[in-house]
Amino acid sequence: KAGVTQTPRYLIKTRGQQVTLSCSPISGHRSVSWYQQTPGQGLQFLFEYFSETQRNKGNFPGRFSGRQFSNSRSEMNVSTLELGDSALYLCASKEGGGAEQYFGPGTRLTVT
């Protein structure tokens, strides 16, 4: 099976802009989670989607949002970008109820 794919791999945006990141899970996986990884804060959970519904949410402002489509693909949107949003954004997928998830390679977002 193909692994988790994320597009784009690298992105440069300007403060105040918005950005959309995409994640395609492993075939058959219905759960998709998003994480932000920064040197200062480490790996932090953003949110999880399962069957097109947000099932869990981390402690991030409302500028961070996501959605999941009927084919389980997911997008994450960040509006009004700030310099502090520069990070590696990781997507992970898993079968519905399990604890083990599989990570994609990430999207490196740089905000200037």
106 touching other proteins, by CB under 8 A: yes
Contact 90, 34 (CB under 8 A): yes
In DSSP terms, 14 is beta-bridged to: none
Looking only at residues 10 through 49 of this chain, which bind other proteins when binding is defined by CB under 8 A? 31, 33, 42-45, 48
**Residue among 49, 43, 44, 47 at smallest CA distance from 25:** 49
Q: What span, in angstroms and rounded, lies between the C-alpha atoms of 9 and 106?
A: 6
Interface region with other proteins, contact rule CB under 8 A, candidates 12-20, 59-67, 78-86, 101-109: 101-109
Site map (CB under 8 A) of other proteins, residues 53-92, x = contact: --xx---------------------------------x-x
